[in-house]
Structure 1
């Protein structure tokens, strides 16, 4: 197939011609910012109107917007497993939260921290881990020199109820007594790590847990969005059981997150580190609209779906002075591409077993991205596993149908649809009957990929 030949060619070029011969002083720092459950439409560069995100938007202004940026799963832990390993998590049998919570990531699977450490970087991780809590799964066991954050899938943003401190927070393996708003704390700790005196460049994986539930924000940020208390919510959100105005709180959380990212960008600029730092920004999955009032903009579906609303996310990067600013890449890209791209930027060899592509020839040199399929398999929805394949403008997706209810939704049936995303981004018009040859081709290519994977657990 043409797309396979193109990918093999790009991988060979990446292995043979990385940014070779770089000394530690020449290697760029790498900052990977992952946010949690943010909707596609909750940033200014994707058209958000009710939440201002000038600092996140500045990454696009100074670099690249990936208009069709995808993650490998519409759920927290498996998406992170794909991002950190550079491989589809389906290849090593870690496809949904429960199995990762139970088993962690196999020790045989190298992760981002391992690769960057081997490339001569000091490696740090701040924020939400969610890659297992058992022995051998700690960030310090998976390539990171230093860790500040929490291991499970969620925690509070401030002391709640009778608790004096935010639960689960630790530095390395030592419990911490944290009382300040957690997003601010993570920003402070990130800057502490980045400004440490060292001859080595840094790799920092900064995984904010905002704006994931529970919805909590400082009063000063709630006050910014007082006007949203007068705007009726379009549906009855699950969080309404606890909050009168969930969109107000959600907006406040995003605004606090944006301000924190702004402080980090300002620090990099003032310390003369900005032009020597590759910055990636993305969300781990689409927004859970019925849970937090996240907004996926023009996309149908949400967290848990392989419709666009579940797997297409806000996605941007900058590398000032190296990657031209103000670009928009319309070709689909994947979170799997971040590891090979970061290794190439570091002048390290990109292993051939990774699933992603080095994006630097595209965003730095203006080359075309080779044609490829992007495939997903996700077993989470209760009635049926879902799957999808994206090929050019076409997408074939097997979805579990959601039926709206006063407090959320229920699952009600399943269907497979063929959509031409170039003129149907909302995935409304199933073109299976009009283009049976396209559906047959995509089904065959998905089935071929699926046969290479271990059985679903």
Structure 2
């Protein structure tokens, strides 16, 4: 009888100890990180942005509803590849020469890509024991040393170039769709496929902490969609706008599939979700609109660098917030590191900041004193409500907007709170403010190096062997 009693006591203690361990394990689970990047999505396009409801985007809008929308969310480049280089490093891409775009696979020299001297988001998370996956577009170099599997990512499904056909996997043999290193020879619709692949990655690693970087090529050209999505917009007469709407709707559906997978596995409260666009919309070519902002993709006007930008982390980031403090995609890396409990080190020299204290009410200040841009001859700097700028139509030739070197001679000055559309140049009437911003830009610019390649370097077969310190001008 005594032995039976002892067995029951032992069993009970074992049961409760196991239960406590299980609860403790769940409580100590590190959060997942899901980073979703749209391609060429303009500031004015999502319903949650408040400018138009022409193209319903309920799944993307739900991220803003369940978290925070940054109305002054920026990217560090007005073009695809530089922004992605900044995202993956948390550093201004001009620090390491990735200021301009590579070109096509046939024309890009083998030394053009995100420098291997830079440590990526994937590297940081993989070293911390996370499962890391990259789904979608790379555009950070074609040579083996630049590919996702060499940059800290365990798994890759996507393509290496700057764009891809949505319907034909073999449209460009030099830029195939890859699973790891294996070519994929057929797809149904690429946006749908990327959503499925991200969902499958979550399925596979649901029991472990993971980082998933989901980089859509929607809504970048070519404007291709299946009848399923085109039929939703039969009422739009303009065929270009209708095709664009279908592309955006397909991306929203794919995001919905991934968010549903989080809910299916009970991971919504355990996952930091970030969404932004890599640059502003190229309105003339695709109709992707930038709302009230001036300018387009490839320009340092607000329309080229201010983008839809939102985060959710239920239970940590309060829901339904709109935050007007300027933030930038460089902040994603340090924010994700902080969420995962990975301590950033000073020697990493990050330019981004951890946004969590600002979003949870622990810090009411602005995350950044200034934000900096340089893109060939174009430049910008935002300080509070003020911005200096050189761009096409403001001191830069529209015929050569990416050639040459930036200079602060002849910069324009705008007050964004009073003039969001950047219509009234205040340089002549506010000379002291102009000098203050110019001095700030030149101080930061002295820390940067020249581009490692010229824009379209690949098209001219040129790539610098090494960057050098940029001229103060």
TM-score (norm 1): 0.86
In structure 2, runs of 5+ residues without a counterpart are: 1-23, 403-408, 454-473
Indicate the residue corresponding to 2:250 in structure 1.
Answer: 256
Q: Which residue of 1 aligns with 2:388?
A: 396
Please say which structure displays the higher CA radius of gyration. Answer: 2
How far did 1:433 drift? 1.4
1:216 aligned residue = 224
For structure 1, the residue ranges without an aligned partner over 5 or more in a row are 1-20, 232-244, 380-384, 404-408
C-alpha deviation, 1:197, in angstroms = 4.3
- Is the 1:158–1:166 contact (alpha carbons within 8 Å) kept by the matching residues of 2? no
1:198 positional shift: 5.9
Moved more, 320-329 or 412-421: 412-421
- The 5 A counterparts of 1:293-442 are 293-352=287-346, 353-368=349-364, 369-379=366-376, 385-401=377-393, 416-442=411-437
Per-residue deviation, residues 119-168 of structure 1 (Å, max 9, x unmatched): 221100000011100121110000000000001111100029x9699961
For 2:139 and 2:27, locate their aligned partners in 1 and report how far apart those are by CA, in whole Å.
31
Contact 2:161 2:175 (C-alpha < 8 Å) held by counterparts: no
Give distance in 1, aligned partners of 2:345 and 2:339.
14
Contact 1:181-1:218 within 8 A present in 2 as well = yes
Counterparts in 2 of 1:119-268, with a 5 A limit? 119-159=128-168, 168-197=176-205, 199-229=207-237, 245-268=239-262
| Partner residue in 2 for 1:18 | none
Q: How far apart are the structure 2 equivalents of 1:212 and 1:334?
A: 21
Equivalent pair of 2:102/2:139 in contact (CA under 8 Å): no
From 449, 454, 469, the counterpart of 1:454: 449
Rounded to whole Å, the distance in 2 between the matches of 1:164 and 1:333 is 36
- Asked whether the 8 Å contact 1:165–1:177 carries over to 2, the reply is no
How far does the alpha carbon of each residue in 1:256-297 deviate from its partner, in whole angstroms, 9 at most, with x for none? Answer: 110111111112112111110100000000001111111000
Q: Is the 8 A contact 1:120 1:200 kept in 2?
A: no
Q: Is the 8 A contact 2:327 2:368 kept in 1?
A: no
Structure 2 counterpart SS, 1:147 = strand
Taking the aligned partners of 1:201 and 1:66, their CA distance within structure 2 comes to 26
Return the TM-score normalized by structure 2.
0.83
1:38-77 correspondence to structure 2 within 5 Å: 38-47=41-50, 48-77=52-81
CA distance in 1, matches of 2:173, 2:185: 6
For 1:260-279, what aligned pairs fall within 5 Å after superposition? 260-279=254-273
| Residues 157 and 178 in structure 2, CA contact (< 8 A), matched pair in contact too | yes
Q: Does the aligned pair in 2 maintain the 1:374–1:389 contact within 8 Å? A: yes
Judged with a 3 Å threshold, the aligned counterparts in structure 2 of structure 1 residues 364 and 178 are, in CA distance, closer, same or farther, namely: farther
Name the counterpart of 2:406.
none
Which residue number corresponds to residue 26 of structure 1? 29
- Separation (CA, whole Å) in 2 of partners of 1:268 and 1:199: 12
**Equivalents in 2 of 1:388, 1:329: separation in Å?**
22
Paired residues in the alignment total: 412
Distance 1:22 1:366, change over 3 A: farther
